[in-house]
Structure 1
Amino acid sequence: MNFIKNNLANAITLGNLLSGCIGAIHLILDDYHVTAICLILSLVLDFFDGFIARALKANSNLGTQLDSLADMVSFGLLPGLVMFKILEPFGNNLSGFSLPFEIKYFGLLITLFSCLRLAIFNLDEDQKYYFKGLNTPSNTILIFGLYYAFRHEEIFVSLLNNSLLMIALTVFSSWLLISPIKMIAMKFKSMKLEDNYPKIALLVGSILILIFFKTVGIPLVIIYYIFVSLVFQKQLK
């Protein structure tokens, strides 16, 4: 019984990793619908592994390391591959300028900075009730959300067909991961209403965005998340 209790959260983390691997494979195979399902599953499992570990009081150094390694695939490799797919049609042509290399590989910059962000997070003891920089799951939702809306609804076409804008988004996304900007974390330090205004504003606004914009609202929720976090910077501590 103790074995199950001590390893249940780790098993869920490995499920996150498996889902991320399958999602990455299907993205390469151009089956983005399966990738979307795998991403949703990874997000759910990533939430519940920590929740269950805390509930069962089964937190461990092994679980911490497994969590980061799983996130590196599901929310590090995957968004890098998405940007790789977005940049692939441009070949070595950057908005009219011929380059000596395929610019699609530039998309993997997101993967490199996701790895750096996860390593920094593991060493930073201040990020208990807020994130410093955009967390990797949110960054993945932003990048994949744009790609999914583009492929599924033919939205953001002019944005994703502009190689310079996509390079700029890659750089900006990578910087956000390690930026000093404080971001809202859905962890409650207290149940006082005034201490949770940022979370309430984020939750209500996100629901409304998804109701009104549906698929398009997926990346817009992350943009709204960044905006709300900037507004409440002084309250995040």
Structure 2
Amino acid sequence: MFTLGNLFSGCIGAVHLVLGDYQVTAICIVISLVLDFFDGFIARALKSNSNLGIQLDSLADMVSFGFIPGLTMFVALAQNSHTGFPWYCYLGFLITAFSCLRLAIFNLDEDQKYYFKGLNTPSNTILIFGLYYAFKENQSFVFLFNNTSFLLGLTVISSWLLVSPVKMIAMKFKSMKLQDNYPKLALLIGAVIILIIFKAVGIPMVIMYYILVSIIFQKQLN
């Protein structure tokens, strides 16, 4: 129920993004994030986790955290054009394609227990849609959304990060020793500071900080 709720919310969010109701899309993404977090937690608590649940989770994520960021980039590129939908707008869906590849790799990779290999799809969605939301709300990151080349560059970077070999922090604790959790502590403290200073605009900045901290602590992630 939780996993299908994630999928259902993602579908509604995608429709409203096309209609221009990006605020409704933001609410749907938050709902999907919450449901995505709790579906696995509840399955383990009830001892009802299964291979079906694992596959279903990725299929739901493909809509909420695969299709929506690609659609966001498509909309951003289209809105930056004055000639309808030029061919390059469709390149935004490279993010969707690489999200699909990333989810398939994750399902087959048994090493990613205490870290992620590449940027996980929910974080990527928060980054892409968070930038777009901040731009629509108060014209933040206007330099990005008024430049087609920058948007296409972000598309390429996002797509690469999804399937990159770069290890990313996962909030799963292998031990409770302080030295083993420096990356997580640095991430949490920095994220709180960014959100306090920049508020909603800081949400995509937190993901950028997350990527930076993960790169800095590469050798400690295992």
Give the TM-score of the pair, scaled to structure 1.
Answer: 0.91
- 1:186 paired residue number: 171
The Cα offsets for residues 108-165 of structure 1, whole Å up to 9 and x where unpaired, read as: 0000000000000000000000000000000000000100000011111121110001
Give 1:159's match in structure 2, choosing from 141, 144, 149. Answer: 144
By how many angstroms is 1:58 displaced? 1.5
* Distance in 2 (alpha carbons) for counterparts of 1:145 and 1:235: 28
CA contact (8 A) 1:92 1:102 kept: no
* Distance in 2 (alpha carbons) for counterparts of 1:26 and 1:90: 19
- 1:96 paired residue number: none
- 2:5 paired residue number: 15
CA contact (8 A) 2:6 2:32 kept: yes
Q: How many residues are paired up? A: 221
Query: How large is the RMSD of aligned CA atoms in angstroms?
Result: 1.3
* Distance in 1 (alpha carbons) for counterparts of 2:165 and 2:104: 15
- 1:34 paired residue number: 24
- 2:193 paired residue number: 208
Give 1:220's match in structure 2, choosing from 195, 205, 210. Answer: 205
Matched, 1:133 2:123: no
CA contact (8 A) 2:118 2:163 kept: yes
- 2:47 paired residue number: 57
- 2:69 paired residue number: 79
By how many angstroms is 1:59 displaced? 1.3
Matched, 1:168 2:158: no
Give 1:233's match in structure 2, choosing from 215, 218, 222. Answer: 218
- What is the letter of the counterpart of residue 229 of structure 1? S
- What is the letter of the counterpart of residue 161 of structure 2? L
CA contact (8 A) 1:90 1:104 kept: no
By how many angstroms is 1:215 displaced? 1.7
- What is the letter of the counterpart of residue 217 of structure 2? F
The Cα offsets for residues 2-53 of structure 1, whole Å up to 9 and x where unpaired, read as: xxxxxxxxx1011111110110010011000000000011111111011111
Give the TM-score of the pair, scaled to structure 2.
Answer: 0.97
Higher mean C-alpha deviation, range 56-65 or range 172-181: 56-65
- What is the letter of the counterpart of residue 19 of structure 2? L
Please, which runs of 5 or more residues in structure 1 have no aligned partner?
1-10, 94-99
- What is the letter of the counterpart of residue 103 of structure 2? L
CA contact (8 A) 1:20 1:73 kept: yes
By how many angstroms is 1:92 displaced? 8.7
By how many angstroms is 1:202 displaced? 0.7
Identity of counterpart residues, as a percentage?
72
* Distance in 2 (alpha carbons) for counterparts of 1:230 and 1:205: 15
Please, which runs of 5 or more residues in structure 2 have no aligned partner?
none
* Distance in 2 (alpha carbons) for counterparts of 1:84 and 1:44: 25
